[in-house]
Chains A and B, each alone.
Chain A
Amino acid sequence: MELFGIWVAALLTLGIFSFLYKDNPVYKICESIFIGVSAGYWAIANFFDALHKKFWVGVFPTDGSDPNYMLWFGALLGVLMLLRLSSKIGWIARWPLAFIVGATAGLYMMLYFVSNAMNQVASTMRDVIVTSPETHLIMWGETIGSILIVIGVVSGLVYFFFSKEHKGVFGYTARVGIWFLMITFGAHFGYTVMSRMSLLIGRIDFLFRDWLHLLN
């Protein structure tokens, strides 16, 4: 059975790779199988992990614990959400949506304020000249890094300040900000290439190791 699974996986992998040459029926079949299997998997996973595990077991416990009646409220909101399918009473679906938006916004307001605003700003306000605690000598690598952070933060903020025309010193600073942004995008792109290559390596390793047994 495992051998059959490996063969199916290998042929589907090759079928997907065939798109690199040109769009073809084999690729379409493989793509459709992937979408179908994914949809089926998520439907079943959500049914058992959310509806059964979170709701059913909670309101009808079998281990002797007290039922959690609050879950009925969540279930009711879930049913109301489905009313979007009706053109006449679809507006009721806004209520559960408002509940979700409110709860999520409430949680994230504090989380983002502490983690992404306060702590990150504090991290920017560091000594520009970094010295070694033991020898008290300047640590050049760290110091250059700190200076770059200060320049990057200031020039980046200036670039996104649109209430003043980007001319003169202000314009030059904004241009430095663009450079920092471009380098950041380049780093992101480089990491994305690395990630995609890793996925391809994983697939080719599967073909060579598990299917063709060319690798130990």
Chain B
Amino acid sequence: MVSTIATVLMWIVGLSMIYVLYRTINGHPIERRVVFLYIGLAIALPLLMQKTAPVPVTADVQKLVDALDELTPGSKVLAAFDFDPSSAPELQPMGVAFMKYAFKHDFKVIVMGLWPQGPQQANQAIEDAMLDPLIAEKNLVYGVDYVNLGYQAGAEFVIQSMGSDFKRMFPLDDRHIAYDSLEILNDITNFSNIDFIFNLSAGKPGTVEWIQIAVDRFGAKCGAGNTAVQAPQVYPYLRSGQLTGLLGGMSGGAEFEKATNEKGQASTFIFAQMISHAMVIAFIIMGNIAFFMTRKKKKA
């Protein structure tokens, strides 16, 4: 019922854009609040419609999935959650999809964060992944199949120190259990014992620091998921081969969900994102029409 009403309203909003264009051509541009309203509707209505958009998997995302596919059951994967709730709409779906993939493929997952709220986001992602019946029936044990080392202050210096000794940076885990008491960490001293690093980053410290230190200095292999704002800064590392796969923004998350057959939040959000982008493009075109019309009138 809600979906049908939203679809009808979406059509009305779409058709009303013709009227907005007509007004603009006649030299009566709409005010900014109306633009805000349209953008709001372009997000709210598609969410209520609960549709998904076609998402082709790009080479950057496929590279990450291929690297994960090469790992064998029991591989040690370090998942660094370097973001806070303000970036969660973009990065949390990636985190959940990654955890589902890792647990289903029996990887040993070691979680940490260079941002104070990162480990909490990781716990939430693990909880969401555990709701999957296939994962729930594995009865994964904390400290044996996965562990959360928690947050450590010190930004990039933490990565630098982990290059020689993990335990020095994390003598206790997030639950205040001693490093040596955790079975999953028994044979882990430094990055040479980690098969893959997956970093979710919303800024600094984040993916760039992991590449500079863990990858280039200590030879680790790293893939990442970034906010859309940060992704363009990281793409050069992808082409140079320093980074193994990148999920850029919500579309990257949706592609990852599709490539790993783990349909989640990003897949449901991407339709709203597509419509809102179309709306932004439409307003940019209208703005340019208004600009040229005004200039033409002034010249006349």
- Hey, what's the 0/1 contact readout for B186-215 against A, CB within 8 Å counting as 1? 000000000000000000000000011101
Residues of B within 8 A of A37 (CB): none
Q: When chains A and B are docked, how far (Å) is the Cα of A185 from the Cα of B285?
A: 18
Residue B24 at the A interface, CB < 8 A? no
Q: A115-B242, A120-B240, A122-B240 are in contact. Are A205 and B47 (CB under 8 A)?
A: yes
B249 proximal to A (CB < 8 A): yes
- Assembly CA distance A200 to B211 (angstroms): 30
B241's partner among A63, A123, A202 (CB-CB below 8 A) is: A123
- Contact across chains for A204 and B273 when beta carbons are under 8 A apart: no
By size class, the interface of chain B is: 35 or more
The closest CB in chain A to the CB of B32 belongs to A20
A111 touches B217 (CB 8 A): yes
CB distance from A208 to the nearest CB of B (A): 6
User: Is the pair A201, B43 in contact by a Cβ cutoff of 8 Å?
Assistant: yes
Whether A215 touches B50, Cβ cut-off 8 Å, given contacts A120-B240, A198-B249, A198-B269, is yes
CA distance A111 to B212 in the complex (A): 6
Contact B36–A20 (Cβ < 8 Å): yes
Whether a CB of chain A sits under 8 angstroms from the CB of B251 is yes
Contact assessment for A194 and B251 in the assembled complex, using a CB-CB cutoff below 8 Å = yes
**Residues of chain A lying within 8 A (CB to CB) of residue B231:** 191
Q: Does B51 contact A (CB under 8 A)?
A: no
CB–CB A111/B90 < 8 A: no
Q: Cβ of A208 and Cβ of B44 under 8 Å apart?
A: yes
B48 in the interface (beta carbon within 8 A) = yes
Residues of B within 8 A of A24 (CB): none
Shortest CB distance B265–A (Å) = 8
Contact present for A123 and B239 (CB under 8 Å): yes
The residues of A that contact B219 with a CB separation of less than 8 Å are none
Question: Is A191 in contact with B44, judged by CB distance below 8 angstroms?
Answer: no
The dominant DSSP class at the A interface is: helix
A49 to B152, CA, bound (A): 7
Residues of B within 8 Å of A49, CB to CB, are 116, 151-153
**Contacting residues of chain A (185-216) with chain B, CB-CB under 8 angstroms:** 187-188, 191-195, 197-205, 208, 214-216
Which A residues lie within 8 Å of B48 (CB)?
Answer: 208, 214-215
> Looking at the complex, which one of B178, B216, B240, B280 makes contact with A193 (CB distance below 8 Å)?
B280
A216 contacts across to B, CB distance below 8 A: 50
Q: Are A20 and B232 in contact (CB under 8 A)?
A: no
Q: Is the CB of A188 within 8 A of B232?
A: yes
Q: Are A195 and B90 in contact (CB under 8 A)?
A: yes
Say whether chain B's binding surface is mostly helix, strand, loop, or mixed: helix
Complex CA distance for A49 and B169, rounded to whole angstroms = 12
Residues of B within 8 A of A157 (CB): none
A191-B153 contact in complex given A197-B273, A198-B273, A208-B48, C-beta closer than 8 Å: no
Structural contact, B217 and A123, CB atoms closer than 8 A = no
Residue among B89, B152, B215, B217 making CB contact with A201, cutoff 8 Å:
B89
Instruction: State the Cβ distance, B142 to closest chain A Cβ, in Å.
Output: 21
CA distance A80 to B273 in the complex (A): 50
Contacts of B261-286 to chain A: CB distance below 8 A: 265, 269, 272-273, 276-277, 280
Query: Which residues of chain A are within 8 angstroms of B89 by Cβ–Cβ distance?
Result: 198-199, 201-203, 205
Q: Does A29 contact B (CB under 8 A)?
A: no
B229 proximal to A (CB < 8 A): yes
The interface bits of chain B over 60-94 (1 if a CB of A lies within 8 angstroms of the residue's CB, else 0) are: 00000000000000000000000000111110000
Partner of A191, one of B43, B229, B236, B240: B229
Min distance, Cβ B74 to any Cβ of chain A, angstroms:
30
User: Could you say which residues of chain A place their CB within 8 Å of the CB of B215?
Assistant: 115
Quick check: is B10 within 8 A (CB to CB) of the other chain?
A: no
Q: Mark out the residues of chain A between 87 and 124 whose CB falls within 8 Å of any chain B CB in the assembled complex.
A: 107, 111-112, 114-116, 119-120, 122-123
Contacts A49-B151, A191-B231, A214-B2 hold; do A197 and B276 have CB atoms under 8 A apart? Answer: yes
Give chain A residues whose Cβ lies under 8 Å from the Cβ of B237: 115
Q: Is A45 an interface residue (CB 8 A)?
A: yes
Task: Assess the B212–A115 pair: CB atoms within 8 A.
Answer: yes
If A107-B156, A120-B240, A187-B232 are given as contacts, then 5 extra A-B residue pairs at C-beta distance below 8 Å, sorted by A number, are A63-B171, A198-B89, A199-B89, A204-B47, A215-B48
Sample (29) of A-B pairs whose CB atoms are under 8 Å apart: A49-B153, A54-B153, A54-B154, A111-B216, A112-B212, A114-B212, A115-B212, A115-B215, A115-B237, A115-B242, A187-B232, A191-B231, A191-B232, A191-B248, A192-B229, A197-B280, A198-B228, A198-B269, A198-B273, A199-B89, A200-B39, A200-B276, A201-B47, A201-B250, A202-B88, A202-B89, A202-B269, A208-B48, A214-B2
